[in-house]
Structure 1
Amino acid sequence: MPSEFQKKSSEFAKKCFDDIREMSKDGQGVSRQGYSPVETQVLEYFKKIGNELNLEISTDKAGNVWMTIPGKNRNLPALVSGSHVDSVPQGGNYDGLAGVVAALTVARWMREINYVPERDYTVLMMRMEESSWFGKCYVGSLGMTGQLTEQDLALKHRSTGKTLKETIKACGFNPDDLTTGVPVVDLAKMAAFIELHIEQGPTLDSSDTRVGIVTGIRGNFRHKTIKCIGETAHSGAVDKQFRHDAVLAMAELAYKMDCLWDDWLKDGKDLVFTIGVVHTAATSAIAIVPGEVTFCCDIRSLHRETLEQFHALLLQQAEEIGKKRGVKFEFDKTIISEPLAIHENLMNHLDKSAREAGLNVRKLPSGAGHDSVIFGNLGIPAAMIFVANQDGSHNPHEKMKLEDFIQGADALWNAVKNFPIEGIK
């Protein structure tokens, strides 16, 4: 049976989702590029709600927005919840946004029932978590913690060629503040970070359980651009033994890595491997043996050692296939996102609070990366709540039932309400 929180919060959450979809719709889906006018418009929308709720609002030097309900003891570090507001190009409306709406729904409920928490409760709305636009994920949270690099800032937009540095600067922030190695906020004032997110996979939606407690978050090793350089030739005049076919070399590498992936899964390793983009040269044609192909790759695992070892295999196989076929593979700089072992005590707190509130939850890992990784790997207790969604994610067909979302938000509310005065160690 729905709780009072669920009954009286659903309409507010639905309006937030509908309003944001309207302001960011792009064809069938939505597009909210990080550090874009649309992303800024979304943040302003939520800041307006924050003002109506009389929240303390601030914006850090990376552009992330913090909205706080003051607690009884302001000397205690704050309990922080939120997520990112950007999206992939023409993606779904709920990836990231669900976490922001859930955190704000809890803040609204506190005001409605005149609840004052023991410690500050803060809604955190972060910029540019998605890597689709520049090839770099967690930009807002990395910038906040001073962990961006000059190489990150030099990355170029997928279609315009504009650098990340130029994009951040055009949004009104100084990118040089974000590469110092020093956080632009006082992280000691964060007692813990809880992020609600849609699952982005089918596990919850294929079960009777609609809410999940995350056990770990996969990290990734990525190459945005790998080139296979062979030799362009006439497709009719050059026999097989004389060819240096870049496409077939790339295809052989992809197939070999797929077979090795199978072997590693049989050995019980946590691993996923993806080649998501493939391009032949602009001069390619039906009558030409391709002399160049570019592609990307994405290796993910819950374990850093697995990432390193499978990546080393990729380089080894590329070298062997290159020699065999008379081609050369050139790899750009590896983009690394660390995996996160979710804070066990905080995870158990989420699980216990939800179950005591009568919610049916289950534990499961996260295949996708999230901003929680950045906080967790800096020693801040971090954990996640998953909500069932349909038709996957990172596509315009992404769905999430409101009744599932509000159960997840209820789990967050109970975790916030029951958060121990002494904090989570």
Structure 2
Amino acid sequence: MMPGESSIEAGLALARQLFDTIGRRSFDGVGFTRAAYGEGEQTAHDLVAAAARDLDLDIAVDAALNLSMTLRGDDPDPPPLVIGSHLDAVPQGGNFDGLAGVLAGLACLAAYRAAGVRPPRDIVLIAIRAEESAWFGAQHIGSRAMLGTLDPRILDEARRIDSGLSLAEHMRQAGADVGRLRNGAALVDPARLRGYLELHIEQGPLLVSRALPLGIVTGIRGNLRCRKATCVGEYAHSGTAPRALRRDAVFAVSELVGRIDELWRVIEDEEGGDLVATFGRFSTDPNAHAVTTVPGEVVFSFDARSHAQAVLRRVEAALRQAMDEIASRRGVTFTCDSFTGDAPAAMNPDFQGLLSQGCERLSIPAMPIASGAGHDAGDFAAAGVPSAMIFVRNDKGSHNPQEAMEFDDFALGVRLMVWFVANLKG
């Protein structure tokens, strides 16, 4: 039995109240800051947990401090459905990234409570810790700790950008069981979950441009990253060093950028493949550069994303080959931190079909859409859990205070989630 409209409205009213309260508590004068394993994230967790207790949900916190809120189903035998997202936000970010997914799940469970009916199975809403890589340089910490895929070395190697303290120290201060996390064992058995569902704002412009409120995610791009690379050449006088004798680091890295840009064009325009590539940092030493100085060092970063792992492997090979060739010809050296990355993650086709069916039944305009950004849903999918995502139209992009999700669009996402919960079989 599915909750009626008045019950769904009650759940939406709770979500609206929490958007306002958490937003006020985390606004820093410019944007919304909720530091991973810090005060802002903890405040949001406390407020959500208090609301869940008022709904008489079963509350639990795991070793990584992920918060689970369970509504018991009509039948205890089927494996539970997990609904989840994160509550941290990047420094001076927006109020909807992550928070919308947790509050959508809470609104869904509140609707069942208001209707006085049970869902067909247990529904576990999880507020996941530390999804954003902005804080520790490592992403999806909470979900990976839960699924047993968090590299324990990160606990000591990753340091938060504002405090300089390690992830382990911040976890310990927040009350996490760091000792248990060091053994890398999963905190939940993925094989015992029916699936994972996450609502999230779209972080791009496609739904806005198509005038559609919702998107059904088909997959999440994998990524290839080098967080810091350095090209070292030789400083020289800009007026006296001829081209043939220069070891110009800026020209060398600029050539590298051009080579990757041309590869991107070939893959996208000529082959019809999927790729985005970004050199996100590109800087000379401010203590050494000058208008009259040939730059001898450039520090840069690289990020490539694709739905095809073969494309990412091809890009890495091309990047390394170009570095070697340019270094030999221009007399520079390239050094890189380790390349890291995540494999592309496909969303479950059956779940996508059920969400599409729900949109038809509820007369909600929607479209299939790929995700260029990473999400906790990708980690659940990689662990073998059938996973799905609902994107909500959001103007002005993401990771900035201008995130502009309309509450009416969010409400459609909640209605679709309630329908999905009521109609999921197996």
Q: What is the TM-score with the length of structure 2 in the denominator? A: 0.94
| RMSD over equivalenced CA pairs, Å | 1.8
Report the Cα offset of residue 238 of structure 1: 2.7
SS in 1 for 2:137: coil
Matched, 1:389 2:389: no
Partner of 1:48: 50
Does the 8 Å contact 1:272/1:301 carry over to 2? yes
SS in 2 for 1:281: coil
User: CA 1:292 to 1:56, structure 2 compared with 1: closer, same or farther past 3 Å?
Assistant: same
* Alignment deviations for residues 282-302 of structure 1 (CA, whole Å, 9 cap, x no partner): 422313322222111111111
Report the Cα offset of residue 159 of structure 1: 4.7
Instruction: For 1:270, give the aligned amino acid.
Output: D
Q: For residues 315-330 of structure 1, what are the structure 2 equivalents within 5 Å?
A: 315-330=320-335
Q: For residues 113-132 of structure 1, what are the structure 2 equivalents within 5 Å?
A: 113-132=115-134
Instruction: For 2:311, give the aligned amino acid.
Output: T
Partner of 1:189: 192
Instruction: For 1:278, give the aligned amino acid.
Output: F
Instruction: For 2:408, give the aligned amino acid.
Output: E
SS in 1 for 2:134: coil
- Structure 1 stretch 136-145 or stretch 240-249: which is displaced more? 240-249
SS in 1 for 2:133: coil
Partners of 2:247 and 2:287 in 1: how far apart?
A: 16
Matched, 1:399 2:404: yes
* Alignment deviations for residues 217-256 of structure 1 (CA, whole Å, 9 cap, x no partner): 1111111111111122233343332221212211221122
Report the Cα offset of residue 176 of structure 1: 4.2
Structure 1 unaligned blocks of 5 or more: none
Instruction: For 1:354, give the aligned amino acid.
Output: C
Partners of 1:179 and 1:205 in 2: how far apart?
A: 43
Does the 8 Å contact 1:213/1:362 carry over to 2? yes
User: CA 1:67 to 1:306, structure 2 compared with 1: closer, same or farther past 3 Å?
Assistant: same
User: CA 1:151 to 1:295, structure 2 compared with 1: closer, same or farther past 3 Å?
Assistant: farther
* Alignment deviations for residues 303-336 of structure 1 (CA, whole Å, 9 cap, x no partner): 1111111111111111111112111111111121
SS in 1 for 2:209: coil
User: CA 1:169 to 1:235, structure 2 compared with 1: closer, same or farther past 3 Å?
Assistant: farther
Partner of 1:308: 313
SS in 1 for 2:359: helix
Matched, 1:380 2:382: no
Partner of 1:288: 293
* Alignment deviations for residues 146-197 of structure 1 (CA, whole Å, 9 cap, x no partner): 2122442312333543322332223222334334342012334321100000
Partners of 1:6 and 1:123 in 2: how far apart?
A: 17
Partners of 1:9 and 1:409 in 2: how far apart?
A: 9
Instruction: For 1:236, give the aligned amino acid.
Output: G
Matched, 1:230 2:222: no
Does the 8 Å contact 2:275/2:304 carry over to 1? yes
Partners of 2:171 and 2:258 in 1: how far apart?
A: 39
Q: For residues 20-419 of structure 1, what are the structure 2 equivalents within 5 Å?
A: 20-153=22-155, 154-266=157-269, 267-286=271-290, 287-419=292-424
Report the Cα offset of residue 37 of structure 1: 1.8
Does the 8 Å contact 1:254/1:275 carry over to 2? yes
Partner of 2:21: 19
User: CA 1:98 to 1:237, structure 2 compared with 1: closer, same or farther past 3 Å?
Assistant: same
User: CA 1:407 to 1:117, structure 2 compared with 1: closer, same or farther past 3 Å?
Assistant: same
Instruction: For 2:284, give the aligned amino acid.
Output: T
Q: What fraction of aligned residue pairs are identical, expressed as a percent?
A: 39
Does the 8 Å contact 1:56/1:69 carry over to 2? yes
Partners of 1:242 and 1:349 in 2: how far apart?
A: 64
Instruction: For 1:106, give the aligned amino acid.
Output: C
Partners of 2:178 and 2:81 in 1: how far apart?
A: 27
Aligned length: 420
Runs (4+) of structure 1 moved beyond 6 Å? none
SS in 1 for 2:43: helix
Does the 8 Å contact 1:79/1:191 carry over to 2? yes
User: CA 1:295 to 1:261, structure 2 compared with 1: closer, same or farther past 3 Å?
Assistant: same
Instruction: For 1:59, give the aligned amino acid.
Output: V
- Structure 1 stretch 236-245 or stretch 14-23: which is displaced more? 236-245
User: CA 1:338 to 1:179, structure 2 compared with 1: closer, same or farther past 3 Å?
Assistant: farther
SS in 1 for 2:56: coil
Instruction: For 2:159, give the aligned amino acid.
Output: K
SS in 2 for 1:71: coil
SS in 2 for 1:133: helix
- Structure 1 stretch 24-33 or stretch 389-398: which is displaced more? 24-33
Report the Cα offset of residue 86 of structure 1: 0.9
Does the 8 Å contact 1:76/1:189 carry over to 2? no
Partners of 2:257 and 2:247 in 1: how far apart?
A: 17
SS in 2 for 1:299: strand
User: CA 1:303 to 1:177, structure 2 compared with 1: closer, same or farther past 3 Å?
Assistant: farther
Larger helix fraction of residues: 2
Structure 2 unaligned blocks of 5 or more: none
Partners of 1:273 and 1:176 in 2: how far apart?
A: 38
Instruction: For 2:350, give the aligned amino acid.
Output: N
* Alignment deviations for residues 248-293 of structure 1 (CA, whole Å, 9 cap, x no partner): 2112211221121111101111111011122322422313322222
Does the 8 Å contact 1:143/1:179 carry over to 2? no
Partners of 1:122 and 1:407 in 2: how far apart?
A: 21
